[in-house]
Each structure stands twice: as C-alpha cells, then as structure tokens.
Structure 1
Amino acid sequence: MWWVGVVWRTPIRLTGSVLRVGLTGGIGSGKSAVAARLAALGAVIVDSDRIAREVVAPGSDGLAAVVAAFSDRVLAADGTLDRAALGALVFADGAARHRLEEITHPRVRARSAELFAAAPPDAVVVNDVPLLVEVGLAPTYHLVVVVRTAVATRLQRLARDRGMSRAEAERRIAAQADDARRAAAADVLLDNDGGLDDLHAAVDALWRDRLLPYERNVREHRVAGEPVVVRPEPDPTWPQQYARLAARIRHALAPADLRLDHVGSTAVPGLAGRDVVDVQVTVPSLAEADGPLAQRLADAGFPRLPGRWWDCPRTAVGRGRAGDEGGTGDDGWEKRWHGSADPGRAVQVHLRVAGSPGWRHALLMRDHLRADPDRRAAYLLVKRELAASAPAGVEADTAADPWFDEEYLRAEAWAAQTGWRP
C-alpha cells in the first residue's frame, strides 16, 4: 500500500466456524483418492456424490421427483434409480441435465449443510463436489482445492476403472467445466499425473502446512503470521486471485451489498512488490464495520486485527504517531483492518467509509498508476531502490520516502486534468 498503519493491540479471542474446504476435479482426475487421503489424515469428508445417491434412494421424495420428470424408464426392476439410464438421458441433453440438477442440487445442499453443522468445532470439513465450479459454489468455502489431471490420463482411467467407451468418457468430460475454468476457481491446484505416492505427498503437505494452521486460525479468529514474500516481478494471477477473494467476501457479507475494490500494488499491472492482495470494502460508517460485518468476515477467514488502525499519508494530513497508545488517530484516516487466517494467501481487507479521504486515496493512487506507464515505472524503480537499501530481513517503508509526497500531488493533478472520480 501507499501508507502505513498505526495500532495499539489488545488481546482478542473469539470462537469461529469450522474450516470449509471445497474439493473438486474433472471426472477421472483422481479426486476420490485425494478425499480418501484427507480422510485418513483426519478430515471430515462430506461426499456430494454419496449424498446425491441418498436423496434419490427408494422411497425418497427425490426419487419421486426424478420419476415425475423423466418417467419410470429411469427405474430399475427393483425400484431403485437406474443411474446408467438416467445418465444416458441427461449427458446428451443440456435441458434434461438442468431439470435433474433442479431436483437434486437443493436436496444435496440441504443434507450437506446438516453434515457440516454436525462436525466437531475443530474439524477440517472437506466437501467433495464434482460440479463445484459448474454450480457456482466456490465462494462458499474458505479454500477450494482442484485436482488437475491431463485429459489423456483421465480417458485412460475412465476406460480402465469404469469401463467407459472413449466416446462416453469424452462426452462426460465435455459436460463439465474445462481445466481453465476450474483453475480460475482454485486456491490450490493438485496435479495428479504422477503416481499415488506423489499425490499422497502433495496432500500431506497441504494438510500439514496449510489446512491445519488455517483451521486453527479460523477457529481462534487469528491472522496468519507467515512472512510475506516480496516478488521481484509481478504475478499475472493477482487479479484472478483478487476475484476469488472478492467473491468469498461478498458471499460472507451478504445480504449487505457493499462495494469492493482491488487496491494496492497488486491491483496495478506491471508492478512488483509484496505478495499481498489488498481489498477495500466500502462501508457506510465505521459503526457498520464494527457490527455483524466484522463477525461475518472473521467466520469467512478474514479476522479483524485488534486495536485501532488508520491510514497515515505524509501529504495533506500528516503522519500518525506510531506506537502512541494515547493517540486518537486524529492525524490520520481511521479504518478497520482485517487480515487473512490462511497461511498460504496474505490478504489485507481495509474497511473504509464511503467518500472518506483514505477511501479516495486508495482508489486515486491505483487509477493514477494504472493510467500512466511512466509514473508506474518510476514507482517501481523507487520501490526497488528502497528495497535494495533496506537492512537484511527488514521491509522498506515506502510511505516514508519523500517521493510519495510528490507522487500524491501528481495524482491529484492528474485527477483534476482528467475529471477522475472514484
């Protein structure tokens, strides 16, 4: 960001929700092997395929609805659902598949919610959902894990393990989201083109290094303390990562419909720097930010940093007094600040009041640098010079450099010349 925060800290310990992990992958990708390994490690598995069978079991209202929609030709001789017959109908007909989903998906979601609610408070609950991406469920989880496997490998597995013809396997694969769409929804990509030992090693590392500490942080409403990586080159996936985080935050804050913006260095194409995704949430007031919104963000994996925080630009307002516990923050722009409980993704969520100076400053600096390649290059050069001159292991304080005073004035001049508005 282009300023520093000032805080005094007070102990805080709240009770959070269970960690919700969405697991998906294309048919034949090996998703079930990942689920089995996670179960062996201690995860609670909520298997949507299994639930999908339960909701259309003999005597269920789900089976009655399926028969009403597709006739009794989808019933086997013993009164159970003939899944092969039903599959032949729906995989060849998009409208038929949609009718089936309207019957089964609400029932699967309701049963899944029951199983989530029954999990122990310290559980890592993994929801194994084949169509997670297709039905738009990604924002409902703390983390989405996608198992990715080459199509050629999947075709071989479907022929070997399920006895499918190549034509049938290709039809099933084509009926699902493609690899690019699944990758866009993934917080974690597990490649499964190797052997089972390789897959198990990747799952074990994910469990040990990310899921277990993430669960603890969510439960305790604690911000992850992992060091932030400083990238020498920009990451082209930062906007995509922001999109996933923003969707998750919007889901958490519903029914409130608040403006979200990608701000900070990762919002400016071509800028390198700290690998932190900054999200600005526009709130009507700080009182609103202190209400139920704070709890919803914490439960979604974005706990509030305790104490009082404010943005302290050098220009126009003056710097704040770092570490002054008796200070009021009157010399800065007060906000609420949330971090990420996920040790694998550093995030800063800034809750700023609509129209406030800090809110406007974040948007102005972002848009100014996006619009002017020369100023963007100059900004990057200054950041690199500061980083090179900082002591080993110490992050450079970019907001303390006089260059940023001048850049703020340039940004204001640019706004006046172009008629920019937030």
Structure 2
Amino acid sequence: MLKIGLTGGIASGKSVVASRLAELGAVLVDADALARKVVEPGTPGLARLVEAFGADMLDAGGRLDRARLGAVVFGNPTQLAALNGIVHPLVREAAASIIATAPDGAIVVQDIPLLVETGQGSKFHLVLVVDAPDDVRIARMLEHRGMTRAESASRMAAQAARTDRLAAADVVLDNAGSLDALLAQVNGLWADRLVPFAANLRRGVRAARTGTAVLSVPQADWPAQAARLGSRILAAAPDDILGVDHIGSTAVPGLAAKDVIDLQVTVSDLDAADRIAPALAAAGFPAVPGAGFDTPKPADPDPAQWQKRFHANADPGRAVNVHLRPAGSSGWRYALLFRDWLRNDPQAAALYEDHKRALTEQFAGTKGTHAYAEAKEPWFTDVAWPRMDGWAARTGWQPPSYPVSNDQVDT
C-alpha cells in the first residue's frame, strides 16, 4: 500500500485536504479523531489523563473537557509533553489497527497534526504539507474559531515552525488562496502522482521516465530531498544498511544537473543488497533488472569490484537512482571520490558541466537518456580519473569508515 503522511499547522486547511482525499478513494486515518476516541469515558487513556492532570479535567458528564485541558497544556512545554506522552502511543496503536485492515494497493492517508514534531516522516512514502502564511492562519482562527489573537499565537507556538514543516514536505499544497484552488491541487496530485505511485508499488516497478537528457539549474533543496529519501531507505532496512550518501551531480552545490537524485547505499556485500531488495521495493524503490555493473576504471580493472545493485523510484514525481555497493569496493570508492573532488575543485566542476552541456546538445534529438549516459563514460575514465586520483593523493582524501550510525545520511 501507499502510505501518505498529511500534516499542516492549525487553520492551514489540512482537514479539507484530508476529506477530499477520502472522497477520491483514500483510506483516511485521522489522528485527531483517534485522539478523541482513545480518551472517551471508560478508556484507559482517559484514566491516565485524570491521573496526570486531575479530575477537574472532566466535565459534568465525565467526559474530557478539552478546552480546560488545552488551557493547561498550551504554552507549557512540560505539561504538553506529558499529554503527548499519554495520547500519542494510543493513537499510533489505533492507527496501526486501521491500516492493518486496508486492502492491498490502497492509498492510506494518515492525517497527523504533529507529524513533524514527532519525527514520523520516514515512515511514509510521501509527506504532504498543507501550507498557509501565519497571518492568514491567524485570521482564520479569529474569524472561524472564535479565538483571540493571543490564543491563536499560543496554539501556533505549540506546533512546529512553518519552516520546519516545509523542510519535511515532499509535496506542499498552497492554501493561501481559494478553496477551489486548494481542491484543484489535491485532485491533480491524486491523479498524476498518488494513483500511479500506488500502481507502481503494487507491481514492483520503477516509474516511467520519458524525454531526453535536460540539465536543470542547480536547486538549493536537492540535498534536503536527498536526506529525506535517504532516511526512508535507512528505515526500510536498518540492520543491513551501513549508510546512505548523496552522490552524483545533484550533490555538488552550484552544478547544473539532470533533476535526478543519486543515492549510494552502502552494504556489507551484495548478498545483503539482495536480501533487502524487497524492503526497498516496499519503501518505494524497486530493483531495476540488468543494471548490476559500473564500467571498470583504471583504479581497479577487476569487474568484480564494480558490481552493484540498482534500484529506482516508484514515485512518478521524484526521479531517484539508488546504487547499492559493498563498502570498500572500487565502485563505491569512485562514487564518493568523484563527488568530493567536484565539491572541492571549482575548475573540475566547471569542466564536468561543460562536458555535460556539450552532450545534451549532441543528443537533444535522441529519445531517452541512455545514449547520453553511455557517451559520458569515456570522460570518467580518460579525463576525470587521473585528475581526481591526483587530487586525492594531494589532499589525503579517504572515504568514510563503516559501519556508521544508522541515522546518518550524508548530503
């Protein structure tokens, strides 16, 4: 199944998006609704809240007085943490029960207000953030929720900063405008990305790539995207993955590149790579058959040192190449050295960009990118290798040592 995390600050319009996704066919798991359910009268959750905050948190009918509890916890980090420590585990347990009954191939949307605050992003294939400027959200709370400006500010301060939510987003849905504009974004996302993503996951295939090799201007958020993707890969097989590195042109600041994120997944050996292939496929990165070798370079002519496993994106909205290579192999070392050489030698980066631009012009009328990629290979051997090898010798460059902490993603 395709797992989507949906979040947004208070009064951002997240509930509208959740409802529309459910209308389109998603299985909706509403964390707010579950948070109410797990503290209904007679539940262990309500008993624990009374124990922590006192019986005066109940109304005359024995139900939780949310307004009273809110007045106690919002603006008080210690009390808010105590509340979250009780409710969040219960909500997650209830959500897991719903997800377990979802049909195969379903698109499951978990509406989680505190997704960013609780660090759950790597659990999902995509994180959707509904966004609106702070002043717009305050105006909505004043008009539609009857809050004072101080109450609105307090509620917003209790959540992640807007910048932090945007940094966690794979998709941002802009709700600064009209309701129709927001719903049009949701409809397009569903048809163009979520439905085909779910279909690719079900079939275990990569998303189709069309068109020719086109260089994009450098994008400042490529490293952040790589970090999010790497975190999902690590979470898929934490016992077998030694580390994930952002490699290739998008890992070099200021370098024009095809808009494809390249990640190198370090494993102990190719048996480990084969063992985790199903887990990577389930996480959205299926194996690509017939792509198990890099071209040997003068660093080591032994073909066995250049074997790898190759996976790619099931998500049609973000092209990703995932190279699984054994730690210490020549192919693994070359990828890291090439990246670091380009990062540290502006003349080398400019030389490589000129070469790529010449090839994109040469193959502009060619369908696909295979011919472009093949034409680059001699440059890696004849031009790049002697220069980067010399740079490594002069600087004392060494690749990272593994094993590393499983929460480390080098961007």
TM range (shorter): over 0.9
Residues 154/125 of structure 1: CA separation in 2 closer, same or farther (3 Å cut): same
Which has the larger displacement, 277-286 or 226-235? 226-235
Which residue does 1:376 correspond to in 2? Answer: 349
Coordinate RMSD, CA, aligned: 1.6
Residues 386/226 of structure 1: CA separation in 2 closer, same or farther (3 Å cut): closer
Residues 102/403 of structure 1: CA separation in 2 closer, same or farther (3 Å cut): closer
TM superposition score normalised by structure 2: 0.93
Which residue does 1:418 correspond to in 2? Answer: 395
Which residue does 1:343 correspond to in 2? Answer: 316
Cα deviations by residue, 1:161-203 (Å, 9 ceiling, x for unpaired): 2111111011101111111101110000000011111111110
Which has the larger displacement, 256-265 or 207-216? 256-265
Q: Is the 8 A contact 1:91 1:97 kept in 2?
A: yes
The higher-RCO structure (CA 8 Å, 6+ apart) is: 1
Q: CA deviation at 1:300?
A: 0.6
Which residue does 1:268 correspond to in 2? Answer: 252
Which residue does 1:42 correspond to in 2? Answer: 25
Q: Is the 8 A contact 1:314 1:405 kept in 2?
A: no
1:70 aligned to 2:53?
yes
Q: Is the 8 A contact 2:215 2:357 kept in 1?
A: no
Which residue does 1:359 correspond to in 2? Answer: 332
Separation in 2 of the partners of 1:183 and 1:408? 39
Separation in 2 of the partners of 1:308 and 1:385? 26
Question: Sequence identity of aligned pairs in percent?
Answer: 50
Q: Is the 8 A contact 1:317 1:331 kept in 2?
A: no
The AA in structure 2 aligned to 1:93 is N
Which residue does 2:402 correspond to in 1? Answer: none
Q: Is the 8 A contact 1:415 1:421 kept in 2?
A: yes
| 1:275-286 pair list within 5 angstroms | 275-286=259-270
Separation in 2 of the partners of 1:54 and 1:232? 48
Which has the larger displacement, 208-217 or 373-382? 373-382
Which residue does 2:409 correspond to in 1? Answer: none
1:234 aligned to 2:218?
yes
Which residue does 2:150 correspond to in 1? Answer: 167
Structure 2 gap segments, 5+ residues each: 400-411
The AA in structure 2 aligned to 1:271 is L
Matched residue SS, 2:159: coil
Q: 2:39 aligns with which of 38, 53, 56?
A: 56
Q: CA deviation at 1:317?
A: 5.3
TM superposition score normalised by structure 1: 0.90
Residues 387/180 of structure 1: CA separation in 2 closer, same or farther (3 Å cut): same
Separation in 2 of the partners of 1:194 and 1:227? 33
Q: CA deviation at 1:403?
A: 6.5
Q: Is the 8 A contact 1:310 1:332 kept in 2?
A: no
Q: 1:188 aligns with which of 166, 171, 187?
A: 171
| 1:267-346 pair list within 5 angstroms | 267-291=251-275, 293-307=276-290, 309-313=292-296, 315-316=298-299, 330=303, 333-346=306-319
Separation in 2 of the partners of 1:68 and 1:109? 21
Q: 2:232 aligns with which of 241, 248, 263?
A: 248
Structure 1 gap segments, 5+ residues each: 1-17, 319-328
Separation in 2 of the partners of 1:288 and 1:403? 28
Which residue does 1:325 correspond to in 2? Answer: none
Matched residue SS, 1:287: helix
Separation in 2 of the partners of 1:255 and 1:413? 36
Separation in 1 of the partners of 2:360 and 2:233? 32
Separation in 2 of the partners of 1:373 and 1:363? 17
Matched residue SS, 1:271: coil
